[in-house]
Structure 1
Amino acid sequence: MVGTAPSPAFAFAEVRTVTITNVPDIFGEWYLAVVKFAAGTPRPIQTFMEHFTELAIVLLAGLLALVWWHARRKADRTMALTLLGGVGVVVSYALSEWAKTYLEAERPCRTFADVVIIANECPPTGDWSFPSNHSTIAGALAAAILLASWRVGLPAVPIGAAAAFSRVFVGVHYPHDVAAGFLLGAFTVLVLTPSLVRPSTALVGRMRGRPLVGRLLTAGTPHDTTMSPAERR
């Protein structure tokens, strides 16, 4: 918890007088409403959300790895989509980190110094707020999974959205931080992947014939005859 407020009610009464720099008041009000709601939830829910904010990213990464594993038996284009999705995640994270460093937006849990939050501690100054890196990665992973496999992607999208919301719930981000991050991640993947899928598909087709790389891209041997040329296109 942050600050030394004697009770959540006292804390929320006090912080409403704080002036927020470079953030519309409505987002501060939404943040306080969510954090106040979170403070009133049962302790098991708070504990779950505190861990979910990190574990959801691991779960989404695991789902993308699962999609890659199954793509080893599928067409070159499916494998290309999976690999490009992973690249998109990295690119979107880099963009969000650049934006955070450039904009230097302060965390709400530091602006509202007396507010009670679920997170163990508020990130220090220099670990900026906008956009949310977690939400960017969650949005990018959800989009990457959806492009490669809609069956796995359908549950991945709400998991990613929940991961983004959890960053507000535990008190370390404004709502617009997570919305912008999620959209940045999803948009980056949805733009990057289709634009590069054709040359990447051809590259995957060539790499699948290589003795070492082919083992990562193809189930069985790199020259497995069970995959017809039509299937690989």
Structure 2
Amino acid sequence: MHSDSWLYKDIVDFGHSTPHWVQKLMEMWTEVGLLLFGVLFVAVWWRARQSDSRAMALALLAPVGTAVAYVISEVVKSMIDEERPCRAVAGAAASLIACPADGDWSFPSNHATIAGAAAVGIALAVPRLGWFTVPLALLMAFSRVFVGVHYPHDVLVGLLLGAVVSFAAAKGLGRPVRSLVETMRTSDTAVVTWFTGPGPGLKSRHRRS
């Protein structure tokens, strides 16, 4: 039994003590909440089409860093093989959602990894959104324990893993991706220039012409 099993049991018990509508909201959030980060990725990319090449590079690297973090999380899961607490913790209340199938390991939490990576990636691209994305990521991580499918350490490590990988991707790949964006914006292929957007320079030239 893990050292934080007692905390897991306390959080799951707390979940069972909340009103039915709170439980349903948390169940819904833990299942579909990651879609909101996907919507934010698209919105940040669309905004970056009218911004400089650095902004576009960060907008593109946010989902890339998140995807890399997810792959690393999956690799770690396959190496550690930690059983889900909804099967392993004796005396714990039943999970609020179905316990994942045997072999769908617990450590680290993929949901928390994706949420942590997305939150940091989006915040780096649009800093003021960090006040929105970071609480969303924390809520996603908490919800995975609340509904009974992860230990607290699963989601904590997932958040940290996602955040570190996303930050490293933005810092390590920012310069080459920025150069790539600048090249793509001078392309003669319409779909390429549409994807990257005109940037602020072309807009200024249009206003002067």
Residue segments in structure 1 that go unaligned for 5+ positions in a row: 1-19, 229-233
- SS of 1:74's equivalent in the other structure is coil
Counterpart check, 1:215 vs 2:194: yes
Identify if the C-alpha distance between structure 1 residues 69 and 128 changes in structure 2 by more than 3 Å, giving closer, same or farther: same
Bigger Rg over Cα:
1
* Alignment RMSD (CA, Å): 1.7
Q: Taking structure 2 as the reference length, what is the TM-score of the superposition?
A: 0.92
Q: 2:35 aligns with which of 46, 53, 58?
A: 58
Residue segments in structure 2 that go unaligned for 5+ positions in a row: none
Counterpart check, 1:110 vs 2:91: no
Amino acid corresponding to residue 29 of structure 1 in structure 2: W
Matched positions, count:
203
Maintained 8 Å contact 1:46/1:118: no
Map residues 22-61 of structure 1 onto 2, 5 A cutoff: 23=2, 25=3, 27-61=4-38
- SS of 2:18's equivalent in the other structure is coil
What is the match of residue 17 of structure 1? none
Q: Taking structure 1 as the reference length, what is the TM-score of the superposition?
A: 0.83
What is the match of residue 72 of structure 1? 49
- Structure-1 separation of matches of 2:49 and 2:77: 36
Identify if the C-alpha distance between structure 1 residues 227 and 95 changes in structure 2 by more than 3 Å, giving closer, same or farther: farther
Maintained 8 Å contact 1:56/1:160: no
Deviations 1:49-79 (A, max 9, x none): 0001122211122112111110000000100
Maintained 8 Å contact 1:135/1:182: yes
- Structure-1 separation of matches of 2:69 and 2:200: 35
- Structure-2 separation of matches of 1:30 and 1:107: 15
Maintained 8 Å contact 2:144/2:150: yes
Between structures 1 and 2, the one with greater helix share? 2
Amino acid corresponding to residue 171 of structure 1 in structure 2: G
Structure 1 runs (4+) deviating above 4 angstroms are: none
